A and B are shown apart, each in its own frame.
Chain A
Amino acid sequence: MNHSKDILIIEDESITRTMYVSFFQKIAPEFNLYEACNALEGLCLCFEKRPQLILLDMIMPEYSGEFILDVMEEGISKNILSFIPKIIVVSSIDNANELMELTKRLAVVSVMPKPLPFETLEELLKLHL
Protein backbone atom coordinates (compact mmCIF):
# COMPACT_ATOMS: atom_id res chain seq x y z
CA MET A 1 0.00 0.00 0.00
CA ASN A 2 1.38 3.39 -0.97
CA HIS A 3 1.77 5.58 2.07
CA SER A 4 3.40 8.53 0.41
CA LYS A 5 0.16 10.51 0.26
CA ASP A 6 -0.50 10.77 3.98
CA ILE A 7 0.00 13.58 6.46
CA LEU A 8 -0.50 13.22 10.21
CA ILE A 9 -1.38 16.16 12.45
CA ILE A 10 -0.77 15.71 16.19
CA GLU A 11 -2.27 18.64 18.10
CA ASP A 12 -4.44 18.68 21.23
CA GLU A 13 -6.24 21.99 20.66
CA SER A 14 -9.16 21.22 18.35
CA ILE A 15 -9.42 24.73 16.87
CA THR A 16 -5.72 24.77 16.00
CA ARG A 17 -6.01 21.29 14.57
CA THR A 18 -8.94 22.33 12.39
CA MET A 19 -6.87 25.27 11.14
CA TYR A 20 -4.03 22.94 10.16
CA VAL A 21 -6.44 20.59 8.43
CA SER A 22 -7.94 23.41 6.31
CA PHE A 23 -4.48 24.61 5.42
CA PHE A 24 -3.36 21.18 4.20
CA GLN A 25 -6.64 20.61 2.37
CA LYS A 26 -5.99 23.83 0.44
CA ILE A 27 -2.26 23.43 -0.16
CA ALA A 28 -2.00 19.67 -0.57
CA PRO A 29 -5.45 18.41 -1.56
CA GLU A 30 -4.12 15.14 -2.94
CA PHE A 31 -2.95 14.07 0.53
CA ASN A 32 -4.90 11.98 3.08
CA LEU A 33 -5.00 13.74 6.39
CA TYR A 34 -4.94 11.96 9.74
CA GLU A 35 -5.53 13.71 13.03
CA ALA A 36 -4.53 12.85 16.59
CA CYS A 37 -5.58 14.83 19.64
CA ASN A 38 -2.86 13.44 21.90
CA ALA A 39 0.62 11.92 21.70
CA LEU A 40 -0.54 8.35 22.38
CA GLU A 41 -3.02 8.35 19.50
CA GLY A 42 -0.43 10.18 17.41
CA LEU A 43 2.16 7.48 17.96
CA CYS A 44 -0.27 4.72 17.00
CA LEU A 45 -1.37 6.54 13.84
CA CYS A 46 2.25 7.25 12.95
CA PHE A 47 3.16 3.56 13.05
CA GLU A 48 -0.06 2.19 11.54
CA LYS A 49 -0.47 4.69 8.68
CA ARG A 50 3.21 5.54 8.05
CA PRO A 51 2.52 9.11 6.90
CA GLN A 52 5.09 10.88 4.78
CA LEU A 53 4.97 13.91 7.04
CA ILE A 54 4.00 14.60 10.64
CA LEU A 55 3.13 17.97 12.13
CA LEU A 56 3.79 17.61 15.85
CA ASP A 57 2.75 20.01 18.60
CA MET A 58 5.25 19.83 21.43
CA ILE A 59 3.07 21.11 24.26
CA MET A 60 0.28 18.65 25.02
CA PRO A 61 -1.14 17.55 28.36
CA GLU A 62 -0.05 14.21 29.94
CA TYR A 63 2.12 12.93 27.09
CA SER A 64 3.90 15.68 25.18
CA GLY A 65 5.52 15.89 21.76
CA GLU A 66 8.81 15.13 23.52
CA PHE A 67 7.43 11.70 24.33
CA ILE A 68 6.99 10.89 20.65
CA LEU A 69 10.52 12.06 19.89
CA ASP A 70 11.84 9.84 22.71
CA VAL A 71 10.11 6.79 21.24
CA MET A 72 11.43 7.62 17.77
CA GLU A 73 14.94 7.98 19.15
CA GLU A 74 14.88 4.54 20.72
CA GLY A 75 13.28 2.94 17.69
CA ILE A 76 15.69 4.54 15.21
CA SER A 77 18.92 4.28 17.21
CA LYS A 78 18.29 0.60 17.97
CA ASN A 79 17.44 -0.15 14.31
CA ILE A 80 13.99 -1.41 15.13
CA LEU A 81 11.97 0.85 12.86
CA SER A 82 11.81 0.08 9.14
CA PHE A 83 10.03 3.36 8.59
CA ILE A 84 11.26 6.75 9.78
CA PRO A 85 8.80 9.63 9.45
CA LYS A 86 9.67 13.27 8.75
CA ILE A 87 8.54 15.35 11.68
CA ILE A 88 7.90 19.09 11.69
CA VAL A 89 7.82 20.14 15.30
CA VAL A 90 5.68 23.10 16.39
CA SER A 91 7.04 24.73 19.50
CA SER A 92 6.79 28.08 21.26
CA ILE A 93 10.28 27.70 22.79
CA ASP A 94 12.33 30.83 22.10
CA ASN A 95 15.54 29.74 23.81
CA ALA A 96 18.17 29.31 21.08
CA ASN A 97 19.92 26.36 22.75
CA GLU A 98 16.70 24.47 23.37
CA LEU A 99 15.60 25.10 19.79
CA MET A 100 18.91 23.76 18.50
CA GLU A 101 18.59 20.65 20.66
CA LEU A 102 15.11 20.08 19.26
CA THR A 103 16.36 20.40 15.68
CA LYS A 104 18.97 17.72 16.35
CA ARG A 105 16.42 15.15 17.53
CA LEU A 106 16.11 12.08 15.33
CA ALA A 107 13.32 12.29 12.70
CA VAL A 108 12.90 16.05 13.17
CA VAL A 109 13.31 17.89 9.86
CA SER A 110 12.22 21.31 11.01
CA VAL A 111 11.12 23.34 14.03
CA MET A 112 8.33 25.87 13.56
CA PRO A 113 7.17 28.50 16.03
CA LYS A 114 3.70 28.98 17.38
CA PRO A 115 1.56 30.49 15.90
CA LEU A 116 2.48 28.61 12.75
CA PRO A 117 3.63 30.81 9.85
CA PHE A 118 1.71 29.19 7.01
CA GLU A 119 3.80 30.69 4.21
CA THR A 120 6.95 29.13 5.67
CA LEU A 121 5.12 25.85 6.13
CA GLU A 122 4.10 25.90 2.50
CA GLU A 123 7.75 26.27 1.49
CA LEU A 124 8.72 23.43 3.80
CA LEU A 125 6.08 21.16 2.32
CA LYS A 126 7.45 21.72 -1.17
CA LEU A 127 10.83 20.68 0.18
CA HIS A 128 9.77 17.56 2.05
CA LEU A 129 6.82 16.16 0.17
Chain B
Amino acid sequence: MKKNKLRFLIVEDDEMIRIIHKDFLEELFPKCEIFEAENAAQGICQYFECSPNVILLDMMMPLMGGETFLDILEEGYSKKVLKYKPKIIVVTAIKDVKELMNIGKRFAVEAVISKPLVQSQLKALLEDWIE
Protein backbone atom coordinates (compact mmCIF):
# COMPACT_ATOMS: atom_id res chain seq x y z
CA MET B 1 0.00 0.00 0.00
CA LYS B 2 1.46 3.33 -1.02
CA LYS B 3 1.22 6.20 1.44
CA ASN B 4 0.18 8.78 -1.13
CA LYS B 5 -2.53 6.59 -2.62
CA LEU B 6 -4.27 5.47 0.54
CA ARG B 7 -8.02 5.11 0.46
CA PHE B 8 -9.94 4.37 3.64
CA LEU B 9 -13.56 3.41 4.09
CA ILE B 10 -15.24 4.00 7.46
CA VAL B 11 -18.41 1.92 7.92
CA GLU B 12 -19.98 3.15 11.16
CA ASP B 13 -23.49 4.30 12.06
CA ASP B 14 -22.51 6.67 14.88
CA GLU B 15 -21.67 10.02 13.27
CA MET B 16 -19.58 11.19 16.24
CA ILE B 17 -17.38 8.11 15.96
CA ARG B 18 -17.07 8.57 12.19
CA ILE B 19 -15.82 12.14 12.73
CA ILE B 20 -13.32 11.04 15.36
CA HIS B 21 -11.94 8.13 13.32
CA LYS B 22 -11.74 10.33 10.25
CA ASP B 23 -9.73 12.87 12.22
CA PHE B 24 -7.35 10.16 13.45
CA LEU B 25 -6.74 8.94 9.90
CA GLU B 26 -6.31 12.43 8.45
CA GLU B 27 -3.73 13.25 11.07
CA LEU B 28 -1.79 10.03 10.44
CA PHE B 29 -2.00 10.23 6.63
CA PRO B 30 -2.73 13.78 5.42
CA LYS B 31 -2.83 12.77 1.74
CA CYS B 32 -5.31 9.92 2.12
CA GLU B 33 -8.85 9.77 0.80
CA ILE B 34 -11.58 8.82 3.24
CA PHE B 35 -15.04 7.48 2.35
CA GLU B 36 -17.89 6.99 4.78
CA ALA B 37 -20.92 4.76 5.17
CA GLU B 38 -23.63 4.54 7.85
CA ASN B 39 -24.44 0.87 7.34
CA ALA B 40 -23.35 -2.23 5.45
CA ALA B 41 -25.54 -1.45 2.43
CA GLN B 42 -23.91 1.95 1.93
CA GLY B 43 -20.58 0.38 2.83
CA ILE B 44 -20.79 -2.21 0.08
CA CYS B 45 -21.73 0.43 -2.48
CA GLN B 46 -18.80 2.60 -1.37
CA TYR B 47 -16.47 -0.40 -1.51
CA PHE B 48 -17.22 -1.08 -5.15
CA GLU B 49 -17.27 2.59 -6.13
CA CYS B 50 -14.07 3.63 -4.37
CA SER B 51 -11.91 0.52 -3.92
CA PRO B 52 -10.54 1.33 -0.45
CA ASN B 53 -7.30 -0.32 0.70
CA VAL B 54 -8.36 -0.36 4.34
CA ILE B 55 -11.82 -0.58 5.88
CA LEU B 56 -12.77 0.35 9.45
CA LEU B 57 -15.85 -1.77 10.03
CA ASP B 58 -18.38 -1.47 12.83
CA MET B 59 -20.39 -4.63 13.42
CA MET B 60 -23.64 -3.42 14.97
CA MET B 61 -25.42 -1.07 12.61
CA PRO B 62 -29.10 -0.51 11.88
CA LEU B 63 -30.52 -1.70 8.54
CA MET B 64 -27.50 -3.83 7.67
CA GLY B 65 -24.57 -4.82 9.89
CA GLY B 66 -20.95 -5.83 9.66
CA GLU B 67 -21.65 -9.56 9.34
CA THR B 68 -23.54 -8.93 6.11
CA PHE B 69 -20.73 -6.74 4.79
CA LEU B 70 -18.26 -9.57 5.43
CA ASP B 71 -20.63 -12.16 3.94
CA ILE B 72 -20.81 -10.21 0.68
CA LEU B 73 -17.07 -9.76 0.32
CA GLU B 74 -16.34 -13.34 1.31
CA GLU B 75 -18.69 -14.71 -1.33
CA GLY B 76 -17.39 -12.32 -3.97
CA TYR B 77 -13.82 -13.34 -3.28
CA SER B 78 -14.53 -17.09 -3.21
CA LYS B 79 -16.35 -16.83 -6.57
CA LYS B 80 -13.36 -14.86 -7.94
CA VAL B 81 -15.49 -11.81 -8.63
CA LEU B 82 -13.62 -9.33 -6.42
CA LYS B 83 -10.65 -7.62 -8.07
CA TYR B 84 -8.69 -7.38 -4.84
CA LYS B 85 -8.74 -8.21 -1.16
CA PRO B 86 -8.95 -5.21 1.19
CA LYS B 87 -7.66 -5.09 4.75
CA ILE B 88 -10.45 -4.87 7.30
CA ILE B 89 -10.12 -3.56 10.85
CA VAL B 90 -13.24 -4.38 12.82
CA VAL B 91 -13.96 -1.79 15.53
CA THR B 92 -16.71 -3.04 17.77
CA ALA B 93 -18.54 -2.66 21.06
CA ILE B 94 -19.17 -6.42 21.15
CA LYS B 95 -17.73 -7.89 24.36
CA ASP B 96 -18.41 -11.61 23.96
CA VAL B 97 -15.03 -13.29 23.49
CA LYS B 98 -16.35 -16.13 21.35
CA GLU B 99 -18.08 -13.70 19.02
CA LEU B 100 -14.93 -11.60 18.77
CA MET B 101 -12.84 -14.65 17.94
CA ASN B 102 -15.26 -15.69 15.20
CA ILE B 103 -15.15 -12.22 13.71
CA GLY B 104 -11.35 -12.37 13.75
CA LYS B 105 -11.46 -15.46 11.54
CA ARG B 106 -13.63 -13.82 8.90
CA PHE B 107 -12.44 -13.01 5.40
CA ALA B 108 -10.06 -10.04 5.14
CA VAL B 109 -10.32 -9.20 8.87
CA GLU B 110 -6.82 -8.28 10.00
CA ALA B 111 -7.67 -7.04 13.47
CA VAL B 112 -10.59 -6.78 15.87
CA ILE B 113 -10.42 -3.77 18.16
CA SER B 114 -12.76 -2.95 21.01
CA LYS B 115 -14.38 0.47 21.05
CA PRO B 116 -13.25 3.12 21.74
CA LEU B 117 -10.54 3.00 19.08
CA VAL B 118 -7.35 4.72 20.11
CA GLN B 119 -5.26 6.50 17.48
CA SER B 120 -2.05 4.74 18.45
CA GLN B 121 -3.68 1.35 17.76
CA LEU B 122 -4.54 2.50 14.25
CA LYS B 123 -1.03 3.83 13.75
CA ALA B 124 0.60 0.57 14.87
CA LEU B 125 -1.54 -1.54 12.54
CA LEU B 126 -1.31 0.70 9.51
CA GLU B 127 2.42 1.38 9.73
CA ASP B 128 3.00 -2.32 9.15
CA TRP B 129 1.05 -2.28 5.92
CA ILE B 130 2.09 0.99 4.40
CA GLU B 131 5.24 1.79 2.44
Contacts and interface: CB of A to CB of B under 8 A. Distances in A.
B63 A74 contact: yes
B42 A43 contact: no
A75 B42 contact: yes
Contacts of A40: 71-72, 74-76
Nearest to A76: B45
Interface residues of B, number: 21
Contacts, number: 60
Nearest to B37: A80
Contacts of A81: 45, 49
Contacts of B37: 80
B39 A45 contact: no
**Size class of A's contact patch?**
10 to 19
Contacts of A47: 44-45, 48
A44 interface: yes
A50 to B, nearest CB: 9
Interface string A65-83: 0000011011100101110
Given A48-B81, A75-B45, 4 more contacts: A43-B72, A44-B76, A74-B63, A80-B45
